């Protein structure tokens, strides 16, 4: 990471690339027991959250990530009543989940409470649903939470984590996926952010292999644009306990009674299509 007075730049060593934002000022910086969090005011992208030198989100483009981490899975499931979000401290994923009326209870399990408190201050639009009576915010270890979850008690698990280093490292292995498999009901879905198809295809392959080892048979990796992340292109990987992932409730997506800025039924269908290099690498 490098900075000079008017730009914040994140250098991404693995892809030999970087992304930068013109900033007007540093709004906040602190070191928590888990990580270092910075908030910048940018000239064109609203507020910018950085954790341990890595861009987490901007006001302008976070809707791409939050909508693709939630709506494809929720419209694939027949009726997801109980949802757990591991991570997701900025609360944007929670907000999107609670747009679905069938959701009766959504638990957000974030290890670092300061991420959420800073989001409430600097990204209040993402925290609109924090006081929804269906929402429960826990600030504890998500790995431990899933290991102790009641068997077959959940319909959807969303792993909205940082990169697989530091606090999030343990969220990318077969042991964690086995906990998720056990906690899901038949037909339940696990979806996890799976980094860039351009820069991290080997990580995606290892994730998918570990998910299958844990018992999941149906696996889909959905790519989507995300300008603030390395390479500008990101993905989520979705797996199911029983059933497949080929179809979704298209009629429900077409007639949804809530606003989105990126997700719709056609985007869902398009995201299920695999670019040729991903087909070859992932064996699809």
Which among 265, 281, 242 has a CA at the least distance from the CA of 74?
A: 265
Residue 105 annotated as lining a ligand binding site:
no
Residue 167 annotated as lining a ligand binding site:
yes
Residue 128 annotated as lining a ligand binding site:
no
Residue 20 annotated as lining a ligand binding site:
no
Residue 38 annotated as lining a ligand binding site:
no
Burial tier of 154 (Cβ tally within 10 Å: 0-12, 13-18, 19+): buried
Q: Is 132 a catalytic residue?
A: no
Q: Is 180 helix (H, G, I), strand (E, B) or coil?
A: helix
Residue 266 annotated as lining a ligand binding site:
no
Using the 8-state DSSP alphabet, how is residue 242 labeled? S
Residue 90 annotated as lining a ligand binding site:
yes
Residue 141 annotated as lining a ligand binding site:
yes
As given in the structure block, the two tokens for residue 266 are 């056609």
Which among 159, 154, 155 has a CA at the least distance from the CA of 170?
A: 159
Which among 173, 182, 188 has a CA at the least distance from the CA of 146?
A: 182
Judge whether 127 and 119 are in contact, CB under 8 Å. Answer: yes
Residue 161 annotated as lining a ligand binding site:
yes
Expressed in angstroms, the distance from the first to the final Cα of the chain is 36
Residue 160 annotated as lining a ligand binding site:
yes
Catalytic residue (choose from 61, 112, 155, 160): 160
Catalytic residues: 160
Binding-site annotation, residues for spermidine? 66, 90, 160-163
Binding-site annotation, residues? 35, 66, 90, 110, 141-142, 160-163, 167
């Amino acid at each position: 990471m490098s900075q000079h007075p008017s730009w914040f730049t994140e250098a991404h060593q693995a892809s030999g690339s970087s992304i930068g934002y013109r900033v007007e000022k540093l709004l906040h910086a602190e070191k928590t027991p888990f990580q270092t969090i910075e908030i910048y005011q940018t000239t064109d992208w609203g507020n910018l959250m950085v954790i341990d030198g890595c861009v987490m989100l901007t006001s302008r483009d976070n809707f791409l990530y939050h909508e693709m981490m939630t709506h494809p899975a929720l419209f694939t499931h027949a009726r997801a009543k109980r949802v757990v979000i591991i991570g997701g401290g900025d609360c944007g994923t929670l907000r999107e989940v609670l747009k679905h009326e069938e959701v009766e209870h959504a638990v957000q399990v974030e290890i670092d409470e300061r991420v959420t408190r800073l989001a409430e201050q600097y990204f209040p639009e993402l925290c609109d649903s924090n006081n929804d009576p269906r929402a429960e915010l826990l600030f504890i270890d998500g790995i431990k939470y899933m290991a102790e979850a009641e068997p077959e008690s959940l319909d959807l698990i969303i792993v909205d984590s940082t990169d697989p280093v530091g606090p999030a490292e343990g969220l990318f292995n077969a042991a964690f996926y086995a906990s998720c498999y056990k906690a899901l009901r038949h037909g339940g879905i696990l979806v996890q952010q799976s980094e860039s198809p351009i820069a991290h295809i080997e990580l995606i392959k290892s994730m998918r292999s570990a998910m299958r080892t844990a018992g999941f048979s149906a696996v889909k990796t959905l790519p989507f644009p995300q300008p603030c992340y390395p390479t500008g292109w990101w993905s989520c990987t979705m797996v199911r306990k029983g059933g497949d992932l080929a179809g979704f409730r298209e009629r429900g997506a077409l007639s949804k009674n809530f606003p989105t800025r990126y997700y719709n039924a056609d985007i869902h269908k398009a995201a299920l299509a695999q670019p040729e290099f991903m087909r070859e690498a992932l064996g699809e």
